[in-house]
Amino acid sequence: MARIIGGIGASHTPTIGFAFDRAGEDDPQWGSVFAAFKPAREWLQAQKPDVIVMVYNDHVTSFFFDHYSAFALGIGEQWAVADEGGGARDLPPIAGHGALARHIGRSMTAEEFDLSFFQDKALDHGCFSPLSMLCDHRPAWPAPIVPLQIGVLQAPTPSAKRCLKFGRALRRAIESFPDPDLRVAIVATGGLSHQVHGERSGFNNQEWDARLLEMVQNDPDRLAELTLAEYAGLGGYESAEVVMWLVMRGALSASVRCLHKSYTLPSMTGIATLVLENLASDPVAGELRRHQALMAEQGQGPELAGTYPFDLDRSVASYRISKFLHGLIQPARRKAFLADETAVLAAADLSPRERELISRRDWQGLIHYGVIFFLLEKLGAVVGVPNLAIYAAMRDQPLEDFLLTRQVPLSYSVAGKAEEETDA
């Protein structure tokens, strides 16, 4: 089993990244920010976790309101720094721990937390502002991360109680990961008191901030009873994002040891850090076995030959070629593909094997490689291969023979206008 060594709560205001990039520990304006993070940074340096789970929220940078999820888990292998309008910060990408992330995804889904999953998205200051203070990125970041993005900007948002429950399920997920040597730290970001919009902009409540820090450590269940409106009233509307700290706290033992706590208010946001040592005992008796059985339950049943479930592992493994095929829904891209397929494939970010699978129209090979059928369907629509021909190829049958197995021997593709009609 993997082990959670402790948790960190940290503010994520962009002023933290600004201070790191442009000031220094001795700067009279920003020195208190560096001082707040220094003990947390030293704790991570001493503990050397193998993975850091980063609980954060995006600020309408990589996650827009065309699809906005309550809980979105990053399952990819690398995470870049987002450009938030003024250019990306001069920080290198950080590796992801895909295996742990996908295990967490399976575990949380088994416990009826309906997550969305993301890859290939840059992470904004919600992640990298605190991370750059907590970890030295030169010559490389010290540990990979698992990013968990919580949708706290568009109401309705996850409640404090839901976040605490999520954290407790996250503990079971991490502890059931089959690597007994893996040491995991959880960093939750956001807060403290602040409001950045409307006539209440600039609101702070230092008394509430102090009480909140004490309650995260000693009374998280009482914090979980507060409504989001109460959080907004006490700390300012945007400060309600601090419910993300309850994910971290829920993943730790009932009793924790506080190793560090700090607070400063240099500008708009109360900036705090909190380091909690996990005092959890090892799982007892059949605890892990029962949880692993729960995770496996939905996959139990008859073994279906010739069937390839599209799961998180296949999604990550085939992401590059899948992204290329998905791009063919854009008229300009498919027009270029049809005009000079060889040149488009040569210029694409694809492996030689992936180029070969596409150029040979190896439908069965694409499925075996990990591509989901509905992207094959799009390629077929572009190059004029009907769905029934693809189905026949799956079974190594001529189309004519396959049609004899259907009640009506018709042929079709995904519906749409002819390209000349679309361009008119």
User: Which positions are catalytic?
Assistant: 125, 194
The alpha carbon of residue 113 and the mean position of all alpha carbons in its chain are separated, in whole angstroms, by 14
Alpha helices for 190-330 (secondary structure H): 206-218, 220-224, 228-235, 245-250, 287-296, 312-317, 319-326
> DSSP assignment of 38-62, as one string?
HHHHHHHHHH--SEEEEEE---SSS
SS3 277: strand
Whole-number Å distance between alpha carbons of 166 and 55: 11
- The label of the residue with tokens 């150029």 reads 359
Element (H, E) at 118: strand 116-118
> Are 190 and 273 a contacting pair, CB within 8 Å?
no
Whole-number Å distance between alpha carbons of 155 and 210: 26
Q: Would you state the structure tokens that stand for residue 392, as one six-digit string? A: 């026949």
- The label of the residue with tokens 């409001």 reads 195
